[in-house]
Amino acid sequence: MVDMKVNIAGVEWNNPVCVASGTFGFGREYGEYFDLNELGAISVKGLTLKEREGNPAPRIAQTPAGILNSVGLQNPGVENFIRFELGELKKYSAKIIANMAGNTIEDYCEMARILSDSDVDMLEMNISCPNVKEGGVAFGTNADTIEKITSEVKKCAKKPLIVKLSPNVTDIVAMAKAAERGGADALSLINTLLGMKIDIRTKRPVLYNNVGGLSGPAV
């Protein structure tokens, strides 16, 4: 049998196949369809410090070449994830990556501390979130901000830290280098691209939130 093991930031995966955060829920939803042990890693849907209901419907829209989603990070909160979801995931050999979403650097640091004391294998920081202390501009659109937040979260993290970059920038290489300078152990490329679907009959966006993240063949 071919050995497909890979080492990512000091963590050995059985193979390089990892499901992206948001597309796979918390994993158990798909356990009845196939053996999750066949995966190298599972990046769980985005977690916030407190429970979050997400955006109103409609929040999913099909396009000719992909899907637009504006789910709004609906999740039970990091503590409830650890209490109710993580134990089920640890029954499988796939490594567990906790995806973190916050509105402040302090949010990310607190989640990193909490999750580092749990059984997750790696942390993934979603920097496409708005920085509420800087007028709502996404963390991932400014190289200096990326370096700063990565450096601060690394101080709190006891598990390898993956920085998930936003594609909605002019020069993603500069953003990647900023994350590296901040101490990122690995990079995740990429989050979804901003997109909008218009209903030609109403001349209005299909999604309640107007825009969503585009994924699929178009990317």
Low-confidence ranges of the chain (pLDDT < 70): 132
Res 130: pLDDT: 73
Q: Looking at the domain covering 6-54+74-192, what would its CATH class be?
A: alpha beta
Q: Facing residues of 162 across strands?
A: 124, 186
Among the listed residues 18, 109, 129, 156, the single catalytic one is 129
Res 132: pLDDT: 65
Nearest to 207 by CA among 194, 191, 196, 216: 196
- Which residues, in sequence order, are CB contacts of 128 under 8 Å at separation 6+? 138, 139, 140, 164, 166, 168, 191
What does pTM read for this prediction? 0.95
Res 133: pLDDT: 76
Mean of pLDDT over the chain: 96
Res 190: pLDDT: 95
Res 23: pLDDT: 87
Question: Active site includes 109?
Answer: no
Res 28: pLDDT: 86
Instruction: Report the interhelical angle of 172-182 vs 143-156 (nearest 10°).
Output: 30
What is the per-residue pLDDT across 44-100, written as a single tens digit (0 to 9) for each? 999 999 999 999 999 999 999 999 999 999 999 999 999 999 999 999 999 999 999
